[in-house]
Amino acid sequence: MSIEEKLNQLGISLPPASTPAGAYLPAVECGKLVFVSGQLPMFNGKVQFAGKVGREVNLEQAQEAARLCAVNALAVLKTQLGSLDMIRRIVRPEIFVNSAESFTEQAQVANGASNLFGEIFGDAGPHARLTVGVAELPLGAAVELALIAEIK
């Protein structure tokens, strides 16, 4: 089954890839790796989850935000590579969580993205991961995700 068929089976349609909000590229290929720039939980041009996780945004909402960031990263990969079937494996998502002072469940937030990669890519989905809590994110987003993937 192709990745596109898997996305359809999961009821996921990729949005158009985001355009950079600054002086950078959406993705860069380096050897067999593709580095995707940070993706926010955007839908139809608007941040869907804003605020501090653990205050304005609860854990479940933050997990959904991470999942949406992952979908947006896949949209960038599809634009960059022409097909998600070019992905050999997910190497490392980097998840940044706009955390309230006492929030310590960043790893649980990141599972929103990690679980999606496993659903879509099967054995090529499990990965190494970086997850950190931060004081602020662009546009007040609750979560941001950057991604490294290996290509065939």
Write out pLDDT tens, residues 20-39.
Answer: 989 999 999 999 999 999 99
- 152 vs 137: CA distance, rounded Å: 33
What CATH code would you report for 3-151? 3.30.1330.40
97 burial type by CB count under 10 A (0-12 exposed, 13-18 middle, 19+ buried): buried
What are the boundaries of each domain within the chain?
A: 3-151
The pLDDT tens digits of the residues spanning 62-112 come to 999 999 999 999 999 999 999 999 999 999 999 999 999 999 999 999 999
Residue 92: other Cβ atoms inside 10 A:
15
- 22 vs 115: CA distance, rounded Å: 30
Q: How confident is the model at residue 9 (pLDDT cuts 50, 70, 90)?
A: very high
Q: Which pLDDT value is given to residue 109?
A: 98
Q: Which pLDDT value is given to residue 123?
A: 96
- 87 vs 120: CA distance, rounded Å: 11
Mean pLDDT of the 7-22 span: 93
The pLDDT tens digits of the residues spanning 109-146 come to 999 999 999 999 999 999 999 999 999 999 999 999 99
User: Can you tell me whether residue 53 is helix, strand or coil?
Assistant: strand
